[in-house]
Structure 1
């Protein structure tokens, strides 16, 4: 089973690549499972494909995994898409696996285009395509390891990596992961796609306009999925491209 959480398509693309290469595996859309409070099936092997949030997997995914324990010692692979690096994420994934009855098979990172437009600028389509194309060899290597049933090779972790995944991750959520800066412009057509896309049911429509209710994970699904580009995040997103995985 391939469990994928994705806001703008990077992790979804990688998950689909893995699924296409391993026909016996099926994709579980964690966005929908979390949104609808649906439990995971029990499998002998689970591949979790997620974005990187502050050098670890998203807390929304970590909490969901904990809520589905125990896993009866299933083999667990983690694939993290990122705009830079995943820091010391492996340490925390191994601890997570121990706590929920998963057999930790390691973590692999896939460099993908930047999509966190609440803080950074996403690339234009041609540059995004170049980055995704460059990731294909890495994805092929990940597929090969999973097919063989081997564990991912561990990477060297430095002091900075440890700081990023510990102290920085700890302060990132209370300082940065807020929805107060989201708003909808008059170009909003009241389609409700933002509400539908939110994995935490954090958006409601009031007088036809989206309102955020304070329980956001910063997946960027709402702002990047708006068909008219009506959603902004303060001044940061103004005149910036909305990101969708170009493949």
Structure 2
């Protein structure tokens, strides 16, 4: 195997990106980060990619935890892709610094913009604008994949100076608070107890209690729960009921759950995703 890409996704942008890079690079294995346990990185790939969303203008906690379990292997080419809604800030520089502490060298880092999934601040925008972003992402992936294939080094993309100053400060101030931000999730009364929110959460922060989701204070703010809810009954704060839900149009909830069910919830071990009944998923 030539390449392995470890990815973290909530609503599909990063999964789609990882798939697109795999197609361009060839001979690539895709592995969700949340499946990897400490010390379990045994891949002998020559190139290792990290694809993940920007959370609160920086590297998500899940990704930082994942980095701690990456073993150092001489000669491996590391690259990263920070998926974001337009404010990559200093994320890839931060990642490079975190990797350096563990003796790993990030050779290339790319910023790819998608429609925002951060529904507390609004919907993803008009369809025509989304389409332009998808097309631009496709073209950028072609260029980035060529750079990676040639094992070039030195390109670490970043946002403008004002983002790197302002948003990095906000990231540091809020980092330890993010996991408790799930206290703003609530149900508007139409929950059917389908359990998709529970099973889609990459950090197992949700359980169903009396048939309704309960959050446990270890949130990643990936927003998979609210965005994949087929009844749109999960809300965050007071405004989200008025906002359009979003996931990447080429990623389905089955794609997300397929990576989670057998590893995450013993009640679903051995079950096939296609055997699970989903309501209004399409």
TM surpasses 0.5: yes
- The answer to which of 37-46 and 6-15 deviates more is 37-46
Query: Which secondary structure does the structure 2 equivalent of 1:238 belong to?
Result: helix
Per-residue CA shift, 1:26-54, capped at 9, x if unaligned?
111224x16x7793333332111111113
Which consecutive aligned stretches of 4+ in structure 1 deviate over 4 angstroms post-superposition? Answer: 155-158, 174-177
- Which residue of structure 2 lines up, in the alignment, with residue 242 of structure 1? 245
- Which residue of structure 2 lines up, in the alignment, with residue 118 of structure 1? 120
TM-score (norm. length: structure 1): 0.90
Asked if 1:46 corresponds to 2:48, the answer is yes
- Which residue of structure 2 lines up, in the alignment, with residue 82 of structure 1? 84
Per-residue CA shift, 1:6-26, capped at 9, x if unaligned?
111111111110111222111
Query: Which secondary structure does the structure 2 equivalent of 1:179 belong to?
Result: helix
Q: Distance in 2 between matches of 1:124 and 1:39?
A: 42
Shift of 1:2: 0.8
1:205–1:156 distance in 2 versus 1, CA, 3 Å: closer
1:230–1:41 distance in 2 versus 1, CA, 3 Å: farther
1:100–1:37 distance in 2 versus 1, CA, 3 Å: closer
Shift of 1:122: 1.9
Q: Distance in 1 between matches of 2:135 and 2:72?
A: 35
TM-score (norm. length: structure 2): 0.79
Q: Mind listing any 5+ residue stretches in structure 2 that lack a counterpart?
A: 251-282
Asked if structure 2 preserves the Cα contact closer than 8 Å seen for 1:194 and 1:223, the reply is yes
- The answer to which of 98-107 and 201-210 deviates more is 98-107
Asked if structure 2 preserves the Cα contact closer than 8 Å seen for 1:49 and 1:78, the reply is yes
Asked if 1:189 corresponds to 2:192, the answer is yes
Per-residue CA shift, 1:124-170, capped at 9, x if unaligned?
44432232112221111111111111125244765423324531111
- The answer to which of 105-114 and 123-132 deviates more is 123-132
Q: Distance in 1 between matches of 2:171 and 2:234?
A: 26
